[in-house]
Amino acid sequence: MSEVVVQPSRGKNEPQLPACGLLLVNPSEARQAAQLSGQEGWTRHFLFHSNLHRAESPPMFWAGPAVGAPMAVICLEKLIALGAKRIIVCGWCGSLQPNLGVGELVLPTWAMSEEGTSAHYPVAGKVQSSPRLRETMKDFFAATGTELKEGQIWTTDALYRETREKVVRYGSEGILGVDMECSALMQVAAFRKIELAAVLMVSDLLWRNPWQPGFQGKEFRRRSQGLVTDLLRCVGDLAAV
């Protein structure tokens, strides 16, 4: 493999991160996390056009937003360079299945890539999210009475080119939903040999014709806020072990 020009690294004045953290894809969740961590006195650090907050006890961090595979991977690479080893991703997905409604949670096992970032991180074999982190999240959410739908995800760069034919075909193949980051994040995690898994909240229904958005509804926003709070607790439990 040819030598790369720019390596992700920790700069002179940059923090050493704890191993466990949360990567929040969307701006709304990042705003909520900033409010929560501000109340708890977390330390804020620079991270490109994103945010990075670190807690001492338990030792953990959160970062975000990072929308789309390229930006999400830039953030992930930097987090790994700063010391991150176990990362939970929080994002949204569009449902391809009639039994998967707005506000429900998806736990991706692997992702089919239709984005352009993964190919730059060659890994032998089929890449999946961390089985250990998936089990951790299933146990955590089971204790709260919340169901996680575990399965496959389709990742695309082209939000406005998700065709009806693809929605029907991929849905018939059992793929649960579509997002813009998961396949690339899983690929980088495998390439860098760290653990990563994701929880995605269903934000819209692509299987409906016409398409049905749900991310502007009050109930969705309430559930989204609850998910951020839950995942910060989950990461805290993971960090405390």
Nearest to 70 by CA among 198, 180, 207, 203: 180
SS3 labels along the chain: CCCCCCCCCCCCCCCCCCCEEEEECCHHHHHHHHHHHHHHCCEEEEECCEEEEEECCCCEEEEECCCCHHHHHHHHHHHHHCCCCEEEEEEEEEECCCCCCCCCEEEEEEEEEECCCHHHCCCCCCCCCCHHHHHHHHHHHHHCCCCEEEEEEEEECCHHHCCHHHHHHHHHCCCCEEECCHHHHHHHHHHHCCEEEEEEEEEEECCCCCCEECCCCHHHHHHHHHHHHHHHHHHHHHHHC
Which residue has 């309430």 as its token pair?
Answer: 222
pLDDT in tens, 29-85: 999 999 999 999 999 999 988 999 999 999 999 999 999 999 999 999 999 999 999
Output the pLDDT for position 2. Answer: 84
**The one-letter amino acid at 113:** S
Predicted TM-score (pTM) above 0.75:
yes
Q: Cβ distance 62 to 33 under 8 Å?
A: yes
> What does DSSP say about strands 86-95 and 177-179: parallel, antiparallel, or unpaired?
antiparallel
126 burial type by CB count under 10 A (0-12 exposed, 13-18 middle, 19+ buried): exposed
Q: What is d(CA 115, CA 125) in angstroms, rounded to the nearest whole number? A: 18
**The one-letter amino acid at 37:** S
Output the pLDDT for position 223. Answer: 96
Compute the mean pLDDT over every residue in the chain, rounded to the nearest whole number.
Answer: 97
Output the pLDDT for position 49. Answer: 87
181 burial type by CB count under 10 A (0-12 exposed, 13-18 middle, 19+ buried): buried
Query: What domains sit in the chain, N to C, each tagged with a CATH number?
Result: 20-240 (3.40.50.1580)
Q: Which residues of the chain have pLDDT under 70?
A: 1
Output the pLDDT for position 55. Answer: 97
